[in-house]
Amino acid sequence: MGNYKRFLMLIFLGFISFFLFSQALSLERREDTFKALKLFSQIFRLVEENYVTDVNPRDLILGAIEGMLSSLDPHSALMKPDEFKELEIETKGAFTGIGIEITIKDDVITVVAPIEDTPAWKAGIKPGDKILKIDEKSTKGMKITEAVKLLRGPKGTKVKLTILRNEKDVFEIVLTRDVIPIRSVRFKFLEPEYAYVRISQFQEKTLEELVQALRQLEKDTTLKGIILDLRNNPGGLLSAAVEVTDEFLENGTIVSIRGKSKANQMEFKAQPNPPDRKHRYPIVILINHGTASAAEIVTGALKDHKRALVLGEKSFGKGSVQTVIPIEDNYAVRLTTALYYTPSGVTINKQGIIPDIELPSIDLAKRGEKDSHVGNRTSRVIPSPEEDFQVKMALNILKNIKIISQLKY
């Protein structure tokens, strides 16, 4: 334990030296910091000497770090080695779980969106559902990282969720974990010259998949328009969102990132596409409450540049940047370092994207109801694009010359 005490003392000396000699901090702020560090040292010593059982000093320090980060916002956290490794796997497009993106909203673990064709999606989990329990463990006060760890697990194992929906309906649902699919782009013709493209999440290969899809669609016909479906897209990689947006723009700002440090002050701009990748047709984007993060970046940019018309419901409003910073012993810190801004200078965070045409979805879940006597426990019936009410309306808009003439393409 002596090594840990020395380690802790070095940390404190480093902090104190930094704050005492930094010219960037006021005298009052340095004094407040010194007092807080002294208080921490006193509590650490009291716990170590008086707590009822022996505690590992390293665990105390890690717990303090976790508490510090979680006090900032729901998205900042200390990532343990296994969590860091799993994140690296997930961004490449494969992991095992139930297939939902979660956040903390109003201090409750909340579903941003289910990922398409996953156990959560098929079981009817919806954006905005609040998870009260995972198995028999209450999520009250639970961190996102802990919730994710409980939701993940080997393929074929089961997890029970207690869900609060619409602030009134409480029900339980048992899901079987599975490998979450890696394909993020699907496409088809709705009718000659009009196509449907769905992006379910933004991963490393999303642009590659999108380019292949557009080549197939443009190969034998002159497209008159596409519907880009970003509903229930929980986001993903910023780089993928920028690449996808750039595919449809020839110039101009895609997204701005504004944070405290110069390293977090960035602006991404579109570059002209090569001659064989000029997409000269209008786009209608579909969004809903489950459209978040990277999906909101794409929507905001194409909307602001009048490259696309947006139809559906207000998006989720998750517009903050999390930077994953590797540190010693294979740990990492996930830290909110900036906010996203659309080309018009509007922040996405907690605001969301307002569609040009607001059109609520029609819930078809009852058609797949499992147990009508158990609250809202339903399985999802996934309508084909041809049967989807919002897709039909988007197709009608693409054919409306008066509305489409306002777009730039």
Task: From 199, 391, 396, 238, select the one nearest 319 (Cα to Cα).
Answer: 238
The single residue of 76, 184, 293, 315 carrying the catalytic annotation is 293
Q: Which two tokens stand for residue 207?
A: 């642009």
Beta strands per DSSP E along 283-331: 283-287, 308-312, 320-326
pTM for the whole thing?
Answer: 0.75
Is 293 a catalytic site residue?
A: yes
Residues 6+ positions from 53 with CB-CB distance below 8 Å: none
Q: CA 194, 200, 202, 207: dihedral to nearest 10 degrees?
A: -30
* C-alpha span between 297 and 393 (Å, rounded): 23
* C-alpha span between 79 and 324 (Å, rounded): 9
Is 304 a catalytic site residue?
A: yes
Which pLDDT tens digits describe the chain residue by residue (409 residues)? 454 555 555 555 555 555 545 545 566 777 888 888 889 889 999 998 999 999 998 889 888 998 999 889 888 988 888 778 767 666 555 578 999 989 888 888 999 888 888 999 999 999 999 999 999 999 988 888 789 889 988 899 999 999 999 989 999 999 999 988 767 899 999 999 999 999 999 998 999 999 999 999 999 889 999 999 999 999 988 999 999 999 999 999 999 999 988 888 999 999 999 988 999 999 999 999 999 999 999 999 999 999 999 999 999 999 988 888 898 888 899 899 999 999 999 999 989 999 999 999 875 444 343 333 334 445 555 567 878 999 999 999 999 878 888 898 8
**For helices 81-91 and 144-151, angle between their N-to-C axes, nearest 10 degrees:** 70
Q: What DSSP character marks residue 66?
A: H
The single residue of 304, 315, 320, 388 carrying the catalytic annotation is 304
Beta strands per DSSP E along 16-105: 77-79, 95-97, 100-105
Does 2.70.98.60 match the CATH number of domain 81-180?
Answer: no
Task: From 349, 353, 344, select the one nearest 315 (Cα to Cα).
Answer: 353
* C-alpha span between 216 and 348 (Å, rounded): 33
* C-alpha span between 23 and 58 (Å, rounded): 32
Which numeric CATH code is attached to 185-329+336-404?
3.90.226.10
* C-alpha span between 67 and 56 (Å, rounded): 17
Looking at the DSSP assignment, which residues form a beta bridge with residue 134? 137, 161
Using DSSP's 3-state secondary structure scheme, residue 50 falls into: helix
Which run of H or of E encompasses 303? Answer: helix 294-304
The single residue of 184, 318, 320, 388 carrying the catalytic annotation is 318
Looking at the DSSP assignment, which residues form a beta bridge with residue 79? 332
Phi-psi region for residue 106, left (φ > 0), alpha (ψ -120 to 50) or beta?
A: left
Q: Contact, 149 vs 267, CB < 8 A?
A: no
Within 92-143, residue ranges assigned H as helices are 119-122
